[in-house]
């Protein structure tokens, strides 16, 4: 379950870090970032009762870097 979340978080981070894409097509890059964030929000909504309170807090506040670090630290 958390590996799916980790994949979503890493994908969002990859989109953010793709500066060439952003420079080439800012609108598409922003759409991809929005889609990645929406996928994380949807995952959170579906699994909110199954995750620990700290992770839920990070996700609720869109602290995705902290959420990723939390997942990686707790495995």
Q: What is the pLDDT of residues 1-56, one digit of tens each?
A: 679 999 999 999 999 999 999 999 999 999 999 999 999 999 999 999 999 999 99
User: Which residue blocks in 1-75 are alpha helix, DSSP H?
Assistant: 2-17, 19-24, 26-47, 53-60, 64-74
Q: What is the DSSP letter of 18?
A: -
Spell out the residues 6+ positions from residue 53 whose beta carbon is closer than 8 angstroms to its own. Answer: none
What is the domain extent for residue 21? Answer: 2-74
Confidence (pTM): 0.92
Q: What pLDDT, in 10s, does the model give residues 24-37?
A: 999 999 999 999 99
Q: How many domains does the chain have?
A: 1
Q: Comparing C-alpha atoms, which of 68, 66, 50 is closest to residue 8?
A: 68
């Amino acid at each position: 379950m958390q590996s799916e979340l980790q994949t979503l978080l890493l994908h969002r981070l990859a989109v953010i870090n793709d500066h060439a894409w952003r420079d080439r097509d800012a609108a598409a890059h922003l759409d991809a970032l929005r889609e990645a964030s929406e996928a994380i929000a949807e995952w959170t909504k579906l699994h909110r009762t199954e995750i620990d309170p700290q992770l839920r807090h990070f996700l609720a506040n869109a602290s995705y870097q902290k959420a990723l670090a939390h997942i990686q630290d707790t495995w």
